[in-house]
C-alpha cells in the first residue's frame, strides 16, 4: 500500500512538471505548497496557471477515472467469478456514450453532455435490471447476457448518431469524445466526477470483505449469512455509478478495468480487503501516466482510449499467456 501511494505521488508530480511548457520540480512543489502554507516566495504567474489550472485538474480527473474503472473491474470480476469481466460488460459505458454523443449531436454544451452521459448510464443499468428481472437462467448468466444486450443496443444508437452527424463540424467532436480524453479537464468536471466515483468506491470498500466471501460462490456466501443476489445488485449499482461518472467526464476509456485488476492481483494477492484499494491507486497511476504520454508524445492530443487499448491488449495477452494457471486460480 505504501509503495503504491509513493508511486502515485511520484507520477502525479511528474505529470505536473512535464509538457510543452516545462515547470521545474521545485517550482511545482512551491506552487502546491503555497496553496496551503503562507509562503513569501515569489511565484511565476505563468507556471502557476499551467500547474494549477491546466495540469492539476487533468491529474485529478485521470486519478478518479482510472482508479474508479480499476476498482469497478476488480469488483465485477469477483462477484461474477470471471477474470474476463470488465465494467463495459454491464452496458453502462455504452449508455453513457449514447447520452454524451446525443448532446454533442445537438450542440447542447458541456453541462448537458455530462448530465446526459450520467443519466443514460444509469438508464442503461435500469434497462439491465428490467431485462434480467424475469425468471429463467442463472442470475449471473442473465446479468452478463443482459449487459451484452444493453451494450449492443446503445452501441447501435451511437453508431446511428455518428452516421447522421455532420461530417465537417459535429462528427469529429463526437469521435474524439468517444475515444476518451481528459484534455478538457477543469475543476468543475473534477467535482462532477468526485461525487459518483467516490460514492461508488466507498460502497465497494465498505463491502470488500463481503466481496471476498461472494467470490467463493453463492452457496458458501449464503452459508455464511450473506444474501448473494442482493449483494450482487448493490455492487452492480456502485460500479454503474462509477462508470457513468467516469464516462460523463472523460468519454469511453477501455481496458483499464480489465488489465489493472490482474496486475494488482499478481502484486498483492486475491484478498479484496487489500486488492480493491490497491486497484484504485494503480488505476490512477496508470491513467495519469498514459495521459502524460498522450499530451507530450506528439504535437497533437492522442485520445486516451487509443493508448489504453494499444497498451492493454498486448499486456493482457502476456498476462494470460504466462499466468493463465495462476492469475485466477489463486483468487
- What is the span of the domain harbouring residue 181? 61-323
Give the count of domains, the chain.
1
Is the pLDDT at 289 greater than 70, yes or no? yes
Contact 147, 84 (CB under 8 A): no
In a domain, 188, yes or no: yes
Under DSSP, is residue 131 helix (H, G, I), strand (E, B) or coil? helix
Is the pLDDT at 139 greater than 70, yes or no? no
From CA 221, how far away is CA 190, in angstroms rounded?
37
Q: Could you tell me which of 267, 85, 114 has the C-alpha nearest to residue 185? A: 114
In this prediction, residue 134 carries a pLDDT of 62
In a domain, 18, yes or no: no
Residues 236-264 as b or e (16 or more Cβ within 10 Å = b): bebbbbbbbbbbbbbbbbbbbbbbbbbbb
The CB-based long-range contact list for 158-165 (8 Å cut-off, 24+ gap) reads 158/94, 158/97, 158/98, 158/101, 161/98, 161/101, 161/102, 161/105, 162/101, 164/105, 165/104, 165/105
pLDDT category at 165 given cuts 50, 70, 90 is: very high
Is the pLDDT at 327 greater than 60, yes or no? no
How many other CB atoms sit within 10 Å of the CB of residue 328?
A: 16
Integer CA distances (angstroms), 220 to 17, 77, 224, 231, 235, in order: 50, 17, 6, 14, 18
In a domain, 7, yes or no: no
In this prediction, residue 331 carries a pLDDT of 46
In a domain, 38, yes or no: no
Q: Which residue has the higher pLDDT, 80 or 139?
A: 80
The overall average pLDDT reported for the chain is 88
Q: For the whole model, what pTM was predicted? A: 0.89
Is the pLDDT at 36 greater than 90, yes or no? no
From CA 168, how far away is CA 163, in angstroms rounded?
12
In a domain, 135, yes or no: yes
Q: What is the mean pLDDT of the segment spanning 244-263?
A: 91
Q: What is the mean pLDDT of the segment spanning 44-50?
A: 87
In a domain, 295, yes or no: yes
Is the pLDDT at 308 greater than 70, yes or no? yes
Contact 78, 272 (CB under 8 A): yes
- pLDDT cut 90: percent of the chain above it: 51
Q: What is the mean pLDDT of the segment spanning 142-169?
A: 92
**What's the CATH code of the domain at 285?**
1.10.3470.10
In a domain, 245, yes or no: yes
In a domain, 16, yes or no: no
Query: What cell was used for 301?
Result: 492530443
Span 180-233, pLDDT tens digits? 999 989 999 999 899 999 999 999 999 999 999 988 877 888 887 888 888 988
In this prediction, residue 41 carries a pLDDT of 63
pLDDT category at 330 given cuts 50, 70, 90 is: very low
User: What is the DSSP secondary structure assignment for residue 105, as one 8-state letter?
Assistant: H
Amino acid at each position: 500500500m505504501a509503495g503504491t501511494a509513493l508511486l502515485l505521488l511520484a507520477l502525479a508530480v511528474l505529470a505536473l512538471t512535464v509538457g510543452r511548457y516545462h515547470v521545474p520540480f521545485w517550482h511545482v512543489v512551491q506552487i502546491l505548497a503555497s496553496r496551503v502554507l503562507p509562503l513569501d516566495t515569489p511565484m511565476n504567474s505563468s507556471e502557476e496557471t499551467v500547474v494549477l489550472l491546466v495540469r492539476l485538474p487533468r491529474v485529478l480527473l485521470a486519478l478518479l477515472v482510472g482508479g474508479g474503472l480499476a476498482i469497478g473491474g476488480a469488483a465485477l470480476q469477483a462477484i461474477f467469478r470471471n477474470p474476463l469481466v470488465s465494467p463495459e460488460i454491464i452496458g453502462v459505458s455504452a449508455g453513457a456514450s449514447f447520452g454524451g454523443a446525443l448532446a454533442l449531436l445537438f450542440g447542447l454544451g458541456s453541462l448537458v453532455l455530462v448530465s446526459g452521459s450520467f443519466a443514460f448510464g444509469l438508464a442503461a443499468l435500469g434497462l439491465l435490471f428490467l431485462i434480467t428481472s424475469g425468471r429463467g437462467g442463472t442470475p449471473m448468466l442473465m446479468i452478463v447476457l443482459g449487459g451484452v444486450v444493453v451494450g449492443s443496443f446503445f452501441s447501435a444508437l451511437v453508431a446511428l448518431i455518428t452516421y447522421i452527424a455532420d461530417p465537417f463540424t459535429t462528427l469529429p467532436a463526437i469521435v474524439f469524445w468517444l475515444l476518451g480524453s481528459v484534455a478538457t479537464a477543469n475543476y468543475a468536471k473534477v467535482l462532477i466526477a468526485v461525487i459518483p466515483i467516490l460514492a461508488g468506491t466507498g460502497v465497494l470498500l465498505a463491502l470488500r470483505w463481503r466481496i471476498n466471501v461472494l467470490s467463493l460462490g453463492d452457496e458458501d456466501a449464503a452459508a455464511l449469512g450473506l444474501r448473494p443476489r442482493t449483494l450482487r445488485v448493490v455492487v452492480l449499482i456502485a460500479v454503474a455509478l462509477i462508470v457513468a461518472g467516469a464516462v460523463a467526464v472523460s468519454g469511453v476509456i477501455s481496458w483499464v478495468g480489465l488489465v489493472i485488476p490482474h496486475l494488482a492481483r499478481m502484486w498483492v494477492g486475491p484478498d479484496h480487503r487489500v486488492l480493491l484499494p490497491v486497484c484504485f491507486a494503480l488505476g490512477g497511476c496508470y491513467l495519469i501516466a498514459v495521459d502524460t504520454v498522450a499530451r507530450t508524445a506528439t504535437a497533437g492530443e492522442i485520445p486516451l482510449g487509443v493508448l489504453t487499448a494499444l497498451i492493454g491488449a498486448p499486456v493482457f495477452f502476456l498476462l494470460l499467456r504466462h499466468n493463465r494457471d495462476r492469475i485466477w486460480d489463486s483468487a
